[in-house]
Structure 1
Amino acid sequence: MYFCDKVLIVEGKTDKRRVEEVLIEPVQIICTYGTMGIEKFDEILEQLNGNDIYILSDADKEGRNIRKWFKKHLSESTHIYIDPKFGEVGRCPRDYLANVLMRHGFYVDTSLVMRGKYNNEERTKYDRSIQYNPI
């Protein structure tokens, strides 16, 4: 088992699967299943354990509502946004999602980043910085 110091909160199972396809580091991924309320929020808070919290929700009404909860009640969380043209995290192309997560300090599969929008000079810089060796 790996120690993970990051918690990524997503809306649903397809979002979680898509994120797992691009990450190469252990990250605790929590699903809200598209809704947020006091009970759900309390359940999530119990799982955080002082870790860095990232919110990655869809670019729709439900996603905005989830972000509001975390901005109001957990202001130290970091919000990661996707381009609204994809609508849902689960529908984002893997290379796009890898680039977005990498910009927020996550270790991702560099073969996905190479197909992304970065040029060769930037790729070389990121390839050197994205070498992950689990303990």
Structure 2
Amino acid sequence: MNGNSIMIVEGITDKKHISKMLDQALEIICTHGTLGVERMEELILDYELDHRPVYILVDEDYSGYKLREQFKEELPHATHLYINKAYREVAATPEPELARLLASNRFHVKPIYMM
């Protein structure tokens, strides 16, 4: 996985849940919920999101759906990762399930999480 990739998640709990599983450096940005137009533009400019590999991993709920739609419009090159709808939240997704999702998208996951 490219060292300048970015993953966008909704909350700090999601970020912590993912970070502990990774065996690589990855910049993870928290949106803290839905984004206004101005904040979206700031993110794109501040992190050069339009020129870097971007991964979107948000909850399978209404706010996650809205956020995903915003990113599809503003960052059409982003790769969208989806958790199982049964878990609804990234932070509630069991570690082995989330580890498989990350590994299947070429992220380096610590072997302890690959059960």
CA offset at residue 4 of structure 1? 2.5
C-alpha distance in structure 2 between counterparts of 1:89 and 1:68, whole Å: 17
Change in 2 beyond 3 A, CA 1:60/1:30: same
Report the counterpart of residue 20 of structure 1 in structure 2: 19
Return 5+ residue gaps in structure 1 as ranges.
Answer: 116-135
Aligned partners of 1:103, 1:37: CA distance in 2, in Å? 31
Other-structure match for 2:74: 73
Q: 2:65 is matched with which residue?
A: 64
- 1:36–1:65 Cα contact (<8 Å) kept: no
**Among the aligned pairs, what percent are the same residue?**
35
Q: Which of structure 1's runs of 4+ aligned residues deviate more than 3 A?
A: none
The one-letter amino acid of 1:6's match is S
- Taking only aligned residues, the RMSD between alpha carbons, in angstroms, comes to 1.3
Q: Is the 8 A contact 1:21 1:94 kept in 2?
A: no
Q: For each residue in 1:52-83, what CA deviation from the matched residue of structure 2 results, as whole angstroms up to 9, or x when unmatched?
A: 00000000000001110111111000000000
TM-superposition CA deviations, 1:58-114 (whole Å, max 9, x none): 00000001110111111000000000111110111111111001111111112211x
Aligned residue-pair number? 112
Please state whether the residue corresponding to 1:90 is helix, strand or coil.
coil
Q: Output the CA distance in 1 between the equivalents of 2:78 and 2:92.
A: 24
On the 8 A contact 1:30/1:44 being kept in 2, the answer is no
TM-score (norm 2): 0.92
Structure in which a larger fraction of residues adopt helix: 1
Query: 2:91 is matched with which residue?
Result: 90
- After TM superposition, give the deviation of residue 43 of structure 1 in Å: 2.0
Structure with larger Rg: 1
- 1:67, 1:13 → 2: CA distance? 17
